[in-house]
Amino acid sequence: MVHLADGVLLLAIKRLNGERSERSLYHVLNGKRSATTLQDAFFYELEPLFGQFPQTAYSYESVLKQLEKRGWLDRKRFRLTEAGELLASPESVEQLFKRLGGERRDYNATTWKRLSLFVQTFMSKEHARTFYPVQADRPAEQWVKQLLHLDRDWKALMRTFHQEIEQALEQIGDPYATAVVYRFTGAFETGLTYEQIASLLHVDAETARLYFLAGWNELLMVLPDDAKLRGFTYGLSTDRMTYSARESYELFLKGYTFQQVQAKRCLRTSTIEDHVVEMAMYLEVFPLEQFVPMEDVVTIEELRHPDSWALKPIFEKMGRVSYFQIRLVFARLKRGESFV
């Protein structure tokens, strides 16, 4: 049996284009917030997967072994075989892949914990049923407790939440809607495990898990800005930039130079460079010329092979620019800018 979840992993390997190592993908799947991993995810369009496949090195190894054994992966080059390419190519794989929401993982996961716990708690109290909390998450528990202390017409609000969820899921449709709805626990209905959802949808458990992640991510995307449910995202950010990079960014905004920022923060040059690369990746507007002379920007763009984000060939051909500078230019190119 080939499952959609296998296809998603294969597509990730395909996108890496043989330019990154097995280890690189491992860190992306586990959501390691290091500069290299963030850049890998950004350049090779793996952000939706970021941190959505937490696993041990041991189980990652066995997954790769399995893919190789089934003839889909060439581990020496870390590229797909022809058979593997075929499985990574269907539209359904791509659809699921791009909806996984790894770039907003914490935002999505926390919102889910809060809402699911709130619904279970409120409905159980309403029906005077004792319950076994589905979430074992202290911050979520405390958040829900505080929320329930607020004096609101909760019954009316619950009706609104219900409508908002239903309308959003109507737009998204099945199988995502089923995967999301059956994870909720009410006063009388306990949510289903991924295995159970899998048997409802006639897929494997891993695919069911991805349907849930994708469905929930989409729900938060299509939810109108003024939806009452947005209250459950209170205090959460969808910002992709790391906290440390943001601190540097704010100093740059105040007009400090690179050296001044570095001196003020007492960090290594390479660390501040990583922060600047994050800015180049995530900001709408970025003053590229402050870091790379325009003629070098143009040369880098011209030298880049259209299918590749490998830094080394450019570095070797040009000689006078640093890896840091190439990364910055690549980041803006990846965002769709052009300087030629």
Partner 1 sequence: MYEATLKRVFGYESFRPGQHDIIHAVIEGQDVLAVMPTGAGKSLTFQLPSYIKNQGLTVIVSPLLSLIEDQMLHIRERGERGVARLTSMESAEEKQDIINHLKRYRFLYLSPEQLAVPYVTRALANVKIQMLVIDEAHCISQWGHEFRPEYARLGELRKQIGSPQCMAVTATAPEGVKQDIIEKLALFSPEQFVHSANRPEIRLLVERLEKEKKLERLKELIQAIPKPAVVYTATRREAEALAFELEDALFYHGGMSTEDRRLVQSQFLRDEVSVMVCTSAFGMGVNKDNVRSVVHFQLPATVEAYMQEIGRAGRDGQPAFAVLLYADGDERIQQFLIDGQYPKDEDMRLAYFERENGTSLAQLPRLLRMNEEDPKFLLLKQLLTERSLQEALDWVKERKRDRYRQLGQMMDYALIRTCRRDYLLRYFSEQTVDQEECCDVCGPIPFPDTPQIVRKNVTEWKIRLTQIFSFE
Q: Which residues are at the interface with partner 1 (CB under 8 A)?
A: 119, 123, 126, 130-138, 155, 158-159, 161-162, 165-166, 169, 174, 177-178, 181-182, 184-186, 188-196, 200
DSSP run (H or E) holding 199: helix 194-201
The residue (of 26 and 194) whose beta carbon lies closer to partner 1 is 194
The residue (of 17 and 199) whose beta carbon lies closer to partner 1 is 199
Distance CA 269, CA 123 (A): 54
Least Å distance between CB 122 and partner 1? Answer: 10
Least Å distance between CB 173 and partner 1? Answer: 10
The residue (of 48 and 175) whose beta carbon lies closer to partner 1 is 175
Least Å distance between CB 258 and partner 1? Answer: 35
Q: How many Cα atoms sit within 13 Å of 100 on the Cβ side? A: 28
Least Å distance between CB 298 and partner 1? Answer: 48
Least Å distance between CB 148 and partner 1? Answer: 15
The residue (of 129 and 268) whose beta carbon lies closer to partner 1 is 129
Please give the angle made by the CA atoms of 183, 13 and 212, to the nearest 5 degrees.
5
Interacting residues of 275 by C-beta distance below 8 A, sequence separation 6+: 242, 244, 245, 248, 249
Q: What contacts 24+ positions apart, CB below 8 Å, involve 180-186?
A: 180/212, 180/215, 180/216, 180/219, 183/116, 183/212, 184/116, 184/119, 184/120, 185/116, 185/119, 185/120, 185/131, 185/134, 186/119, 186/120, 186/123, 186/124
The residue (of 113 and 327) whose beta carbon lies closer to partner 1 is 113
The residue (of 105 and 332) whose beta carbon lies closer to partner 1 is 105
Least Å distance between CB 186 and partner 1? Answer: 4
Provide the strand spans (E) within the chain: 73-74, 79-80
The residue (of 37 and 185) whose beta carbon lies closer to partner 1 is 185
Least Å distance between CB 43 and partner 1? Answer: 30
Which DSSP state fits 102? G
Distance CA 14, CA 10 (A): 6
Nearest CA-CA partner of 238 in 337, 114, 136, 111? 111
Nearest CA-CA partner of 99 in 224, 236, 207? 207
The residue (of 84 and 175) whose beta carbon lies closer to partner 1 is 175
Least Å distance between CB 75 and partner 1? Answer: 22
Contact 169, 176 (CB under 8 A): yes
Distance CA 90, CA 97 (A): 11
The residue (of 44 and 161) whose beta carbon lies closer to partner 1 is 161
Look at residue 176 and give its three-state secondary structure.
Answer: helix
Q: Which two tokens stand for residue 263?
A: 């001196």
Least Å distance between CB 283 and partner 1? Answer: 32
